[in-house]
């Protein structure tokens, strides 16, 4: 769908320094950093997160705890048991080419066999949800269920008498090459799993390969734009807590909000912590009292690998899927009118 070539355009005026990538391909990420590892520093003294990263190795990992591990904690599945589990999942990725779930929702399933099949045995953990301890997304609140039901009813009334492709607006922003939103833009999927982190004094930028977006995270405590301005990936503000970059994001648009959350009350809190020379642990706490009964958190590693540089993502130029869906809808309409 896309043509690729390496692009080197970063965030002009914001990026003063970029550390070289480390061409290592470690197979494991610990849930806690090594006690002997010293986090490197930028020339201005901040923890240095810069580099080219991927999380493609996590494609076959379930988002929530599988039923086979009921009653067990994530930290209890380790060693040889975890290694055998990851090897088996990698084999299933290769043998069972179709997807099994929505990659944007975090239920990644297996990638088609022609995507990164030789990397499929390099996952790091049994599942991703780390809080609550049962590894499950908490139940929705009554307010959340009522709001989503009302949205579904309103959508059904609006679409009454319409086909699934009456207009390009009937398709998601992802289908239309506009945005995967947050945290979707950093979720592992079948391809395009590269990310570049660059830093300057008072700012961090993350560039995503898929849908060609760049987030600018201000660290200078500047005031937020307010509820009148909503963005595809929300409005981020960051701070350092020791060696951890903490990023709080609010102000999401309704059409990119995560998992049908309330865009007025959703807050995502990300933590980026360098745990090894080639690893950053990325966690996301999802907090929306109008959607879930309690906040919840998932986590996964980003692996630094200089061979995984962000490539050009020519989505609009190659988006024949949307074009053909609209063309097919017009053909069906013409056939329904007797071909006139």
pLDDT in tens, 30-44: 455 556 889 999 999
Percent of the chain topping pLDDT 70: 80
How far apart (Å, rounded) are the C-alpha atoms in residues 232 and 275? Answer: 30
Question: What's the chain's average pLDDT?
Answer: 82
Asked if residue 5 has pLDDT above 70, the reply is: no
3 state DSSP class of 107 = coil
Give the pLDDT score at 22.
32
Residue 136: count of CB within 10 angstroms of its CB: 14
Give the pLDDT score at 36.
81
Give the pLDDT score at 19.
35
- pTM (global) more than 0.75: yes
Q: Report the candidate in 264, 302, 298 with the shortest Cα–Cα distance to residue 138.
A: 298
pLDDT in tens, 296-334: 999 999 999 878 888 888 888 888 989 999 999 889 888
Query: Helices in the chain by DSSP H: which ranges?
Result: 79-95, 142-158, 315-318, 320-336
pLDDT in tens, 95-152: 554 444 444 333 344 444 444 555 656 788 999 999 999 999 999 999 999 999 998 8
Least confident of 176-185, 187-196, 247-256: 187-196
pLDDT in tens, 215-229: 999 999 899 988 888
Q: Report the candidate in 241, 183, 64, 277 with the shortest Cα–Cα distance to residue 195.
A: 183
How far apart (Å, rounded) are the C-alpha atoms in residues 1 and 317? Answer: 9
Give the pLDDT score at 166.
86
Give the pLDDT score at 20.
34
Q: How would you classify residue 88: left for phi > 0, otherwise alpha for psi between -120 and 50, otherwise beta?
A: alpha
306 phi, psi to nearest 5 deg? -65, -15
């Amino acid at each position: 769908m896309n043509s690729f070539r390496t692009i080197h355009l970063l965030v002009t005026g914001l990026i003063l320094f970029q550390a070289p990538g480390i061409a290592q391909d470690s197979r494991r990420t610990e849930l806690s950093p090594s006690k002997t590892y010293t986090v490197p520093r930028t020339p201005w003294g901040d923890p240095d997160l810069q580099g080219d990263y991927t999380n493609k190795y996590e494609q076959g990992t379930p988002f929530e705890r599988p039923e086979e591990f009921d009653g067990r904690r994530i930290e209890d599945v380790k060693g040889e048991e975890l290694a055998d589990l990851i090897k088996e999942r990698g084999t299933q990725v290769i043998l069972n080419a179709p997807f099994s779930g929505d990659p944007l929702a975090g239920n990644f399933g297996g990638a088609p066999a022609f995507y990164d099949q030789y990397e499929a045995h390099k996952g790091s953990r049994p599942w991703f949800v780390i809080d609550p301890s049962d590894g499950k997304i908490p139940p929705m609140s009554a307010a959340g269920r009522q709001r989503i039901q009302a949205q579904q009813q309103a959508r059904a009334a609006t679409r009454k008498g319409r086909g699934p492709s009456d207009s390009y607006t009937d398709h998601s922003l992802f289908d239309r090459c506009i945005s995967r939103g947050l945290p979707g833009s950093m979720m592992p999927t079948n391809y395009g799993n590269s990310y570049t982190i660059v830093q300057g004094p008072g700012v961090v930028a993350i560039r995503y390969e898929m849908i060609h977006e760049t987030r600018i995270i201000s660290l200078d405590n500047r005031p937020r734009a307010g509820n009148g301005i909503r963005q595809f990936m929300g409005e981020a503000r960051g701070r350092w807590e020791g060696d951890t970059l903490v990023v709080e994001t609010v102000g999401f648009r309704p059409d990119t909000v995560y998992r049908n959350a309330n865009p007025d009350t959703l807050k995502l809190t990300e933590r980026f912590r360098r745990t090894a020379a080639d690893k950053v642990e990325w966690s996301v706490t999802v907090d929306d009292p109008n959607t879930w009964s309690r906040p919840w958190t998932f986590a996964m590693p980003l692996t630094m690998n200089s061979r995984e540089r962000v490539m050009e993502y020519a989505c609009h130029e190659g988006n024949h899927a949307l074009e053909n869906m609209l063309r097919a809808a017009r053909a069906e309409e013409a056939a329904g009118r007797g071909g006139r």
